[in-house]
Amino acid sequence: MVRILVSDAMSEEGLAPLLADPTIEVVQKKVTEVEGELDTFDALLVRSATKVTEQLLQNMPNLKIVGRAGVGVDNIDVDAATRYGVVVINAPNGNTISTAEHTFAMMASLVRRIPQAHISVKSREWNRSAFVGVELFGKHLGIIGFGRIGSEVAKRARAFGMHVHVYDPFLTKARAEKIGVDVCTLDELLAQADIITVHTPLTKETKGLLGPKNLAKTKKGVYLINCARGGIIDEQALLSFLENGHVAGVALDVFEQEPPGDHPLLSFDNVIVTPHLGASTIEAQVNVATQVAEEVLKFLQGKPVTSSINLPTLSKDVYEKIQAFYTLARKMGIVASQYMSEPVQEIAITYSGSVADLETTFITRSLLAGFLKPRVASTVNEVNAAMIAKERGIAFSEKFSANGNDYNNSITLTVYGENKTFTMKGTHIAHYGDRIVHFNGFAIDFAPEGHLLYIQHHDKPGMIGKVGNILGDHQVNIATMQVGRQEAGGKAIMMLSLDKPLDDALVEILEKIDDIDVVKRLEV
Ligand SMILES: NC(=O)C1=CN([C@@H]2O[C@H](COP(=O)(O)OP(=O)(O)OC[C@H]3O[C@@H](n4cnc5c(N)ncnc54)[C@H](O)[C@@H]3O)[C@@H](O)[C@H]2O)C=CC1
Ligand SMILES: O=C(O)C(=O)COP(=O)(O)O
């Protein structure tokens, strides 16, 4: 039974695919309520409240995937998750419209002082002159961060007759032209805007983006809005610019600390606030929960996920094309790692023929994961394979060749060790399967599967018989046997597929046979 912990409030309708699956148990509780059983969960679904720290990941050794029902993953230690081989996915567009609408609601509320007027009337006052606002029409709106939400805000602003200025260092000219916005530098935006709204993620670069220096560059009487992440507008700096009257008003949905407690910003009449409600609509919550539920389900069924933060993104089409090579590469990695039972410095992979045209990042990661698996105690998979290889000083490279070298497709793997170099070549043949067609300098043809026994010997009459007799005497059945040699009477190899793994004693007996140089068990 797969166990999924849903530790923040999530739409039941969205979670339906998981709740309906009889092989899955969904536990909807806070982390603190299940401390004794954290090691039993396979998946963790969160919103922004749960902090997925390295400590929590350590306490959940069975965890395979974290699903964020929303956009921001700043509450998840993605680096640590990657190190532990845990996939992190989010639901990137389910709450875009809701957050853009909330931003706009905040903007209108801010300039027309609706929350303040509301409190006044509820207090039985009728003070029309105290709540004179300004129009949005004709004003200059500065949007910092022009991704999904920023661009939806821009559409709405244009419908209100506003002039839109955008700052986003990663926005391509082509996209800006297509949307028809005025792209400017941050300084230009700060100087021109009557209202500034931020829609970036919280990163090292955006933390404090609107701090004392940049706030000083804004127009006197500017309005500021943050419906993205607390800290993009520096709260301390904001206090002084409100105190000196430079900033006319602020709308905040998010805070550096949530909840903000008794924060001095809350005392200002011209600061309006909501408790991180950007994504809090029925529609957005169904959308994001559905997106993560479907993705987690796919992942648990071994299918590719499309919204991973720490894995290359794969569409279903691409996955179907690479699937066979992904499996072949994994097996080649496992075999090579056992054959090269010594420290290695470099793994070079050449993709030839039809496979060279495919998205190979994932195939390479699969090969690396296979290679590292027998060597590392912790989980190793496509998420962390490249990182673990780097940590262990193993360089890897990919080369591509249109020519399949006698095969429609092939993957050639060369492993450079401290004392020797090992090469193998594999191919995938439709309706036939994975074959290793070159091994350690010998042409051969075997399936990289099950309990394999590799023997390197001198090409002499009777060698096959000797090996066969010893295995037979010890009740080890040989399922298949392939042989290869470089030249008659020279070096030769046998690759046997056995019905059960060989024990150490039998390996020693085989090693003692005259003219046998190498005996290696390869478990795939
Ligand atoms: N208040 C709420 O409940 C919600 C808040 N959010 C937050 O809104 C923010 C934006 O979300 P999306 O639009 O979906 O993300 P997105 O990834 O589509 O857009 C972010 C944009 O910021 C830009 N950017 C990155 N670094 C920048 C920098 N240094 N300066 C200027 N631009 C920069 C990126 O190029 C990108 O275009 C995120 O922080 C997200 O967590 C999202 C949903 C709900
Ligand atoms: O999606 C995001 O980034 C949000 O900020 C929404 O947060 P929430 O899921 O409402 O806690």
Q: How far from chain centre, in Å, is Cα 406?
A: 37
**Residue 95, ligand 2, Cβ within 6 A:** yes
Answer whether 67's CB lies under 8 Å from 89's CB.
yes
Q: In a mutational test of the pocket of ligand 2, which residue from 45, 71, 291 has the highest number of ligand atoms less than 8 Å from its CB?
A: 71
Q: Which domains does the chain possess?
A: 2-93+283-301 (3.40.50.720), 95-273 (3.40.50.720), 316-523 (3.30.1330.90)
Report which protein residue has its CA nearest ligand 1's atom 30: 168
| Ligand 2 geometric centre to CA of 308 (Å) | 17
Helix locations, 412-523, DSSP H: 463-473, 504-511
Which one of the listed residues 140, 199, 276, 428 is annotated catalytic?
A: 276
Ligand 2 atom closest to residue 229's alpha carbon, by position in its atom list: 5
Q: In this structure, which amino acid lies at residue 65? A: I
Compute the distance from residue 385 Cα to the ligand 1 centre, in Å: 29
Residue 302 has what pLDDT? 79
Q: Can 474 be counted among the known catalytic residues?
A: no
Pairing mode, strands 433-439 and 442-446: antiparallel
CB-ligand 2 contact for 99 (6 Å cutoff): no
Closest C-alpha residue for ligand 1 atom 16: 147
Among 68, 51, 107, which residue's Cα sits nearest to residue 253? 107
Separation of 98 CA from ligand 2 center, angstroms?
A: 11
Output the residue whose Cα is nearest ligand 2's atom 10: 279
Q: What is the ipTM of this complex?
A: 0.99
Rounded Cα gap, residues 495 and 488, in angstroms: 18
Q: Are 223 and 250 in contact (CB under 8 A)?
A: yes
Residue 335's pLDDT is 97
- Which residues are CB-contacts of 136 (< 8 A; sequence separation ≥ 6)? 107, 108, 111, 157, 160, 161, 162, 195
Q: Do 50 and 7 form a contact (C-beta atoms < 8 A)?
A: yes
Q: Which tokens is 456 given?
A: 């390197």
Query: Per-10-residue mean pLDDT for the chain, 524 residues long?
Result: 97 96 97 98 97 97 96 93 91 95 98 98 98 98 95 95 92 78 94 98 92 98 98 98 98 97 98 98 98 94 83 77 93 96 92 93 94 84 88 92 85 93 96 95 95 95 93 94 90 95 93 94 95
In the sheet that holds 87-90, the strands lie side by side as: 24-27, 2-6, 43-46, 65-68, 87-90
Atom of ligand 1 nearest to the CA of 280: 3
Question: Measured in angstroms, how far is the CA atom of residue 200 from the centroid of ligand 1?
Answer: 3
Determine the Cα angle at 147 with ends 143 and 150, to 5°. 35
In SS3 terms, 163-205 reads as EEEEECCCCCHHHHHHHCCEECCHHHHHHHCCEEEECCCCCCC
Q: Which of 428, 416, 295, 417 is nearest to 366 (CA)?
A: 428
Determine whether 431 is an active site residue. Answer: no
Nearest CA to ligand 1 atom 19: 147
Answer whether 48 contacts ligand 2 (Cβ < 6 A).
yes
Are the CB atoms for 94 and 288 separated by under 8 Å? Answer: yes
Q: Where are the alpha helices (DSSP H) in 61-210?
A: 78-83, 96-112, 114-122, 148-159, 173-179, 186-192
Distance CA 292, CA 290 (A): 6
Strand partners of residue 399: 350
Ligand 2 neighbourhood includes 164 CB (under 6 angstroms): no
Which bin fits 489, alpha (ψ -120 to 50), beta or left (φ > 0)? left
pLDDT at 254: 98
Strand partners, 353: 409
Per this entry, what is the length of the chain?
Answer: 524
Shortest-distance atom of ligand 2 to CA 254:
5
Q: Does the beta carbon of 254 sit less than 6 angstroms from any atom of ligand 1?
A: yes
Is residue 304 classed as helix, strand or coil in its secondary structure? coil
Q: What backbone phi and psi angles, to 5 degrees, belong to 251?
A: -120, 120
Cα–Cα dist 265/237, whole Å: 11
Nearest CA to ligand 2 atom 7: 48
Which of 177, 243, 258, 342 is an active site residue? 258
The residue whose CA has the least distance to atom 17 of ligand 1 is 147
Task: Determine the atom of ligand 1 nearest the C-alpha atom of 167.
Answer: 31
Instruction: Evaluate: CB of 101 within 6 angstroms of ligand 1.
Output: no
147 within ligand 1 shell (Cβ under 6 A): yes
**Is 229 noted as a catalytic residue in this protein?**
yes
To test the ligand 2 pocket, which listed residue (276, 288, 307) has its Cβ within 8 A of the most ligand atoms?
A: 276
Closest Cα to atom 8 of ligand 1: 228
Residue in 8, 71, 312, 66 with CA at minimum distance from that of residue 202: 71
328 token code pair: 């072949």
Q: From ligand 2's centre to the CA of 48, what distance in Å? A: 5
Q: Which candidate, 285, 299, 281, 283, places its Cα nearest to that of 18?
A: 299
The pLDDT score that the predictor gives to residue 315 is: 74
Tokens encoding 460: 């002499």
**pTM of the predicted structure, to 2 decimals:** 0.79
Contact criterion met (CB below 8 Å) for 143 and 197: yes
Which residue from 101, 104, 199 has its CB within 8 A of the most atoms of ligand 1, so it is best to mutate?
A: 199
Query: For residue 49, which ligand has an atom nearest its CA?
Result: 2
- Residue 433 has a pLDDT of 95
Catalytic residue among 229, 330, 428, 457: 229
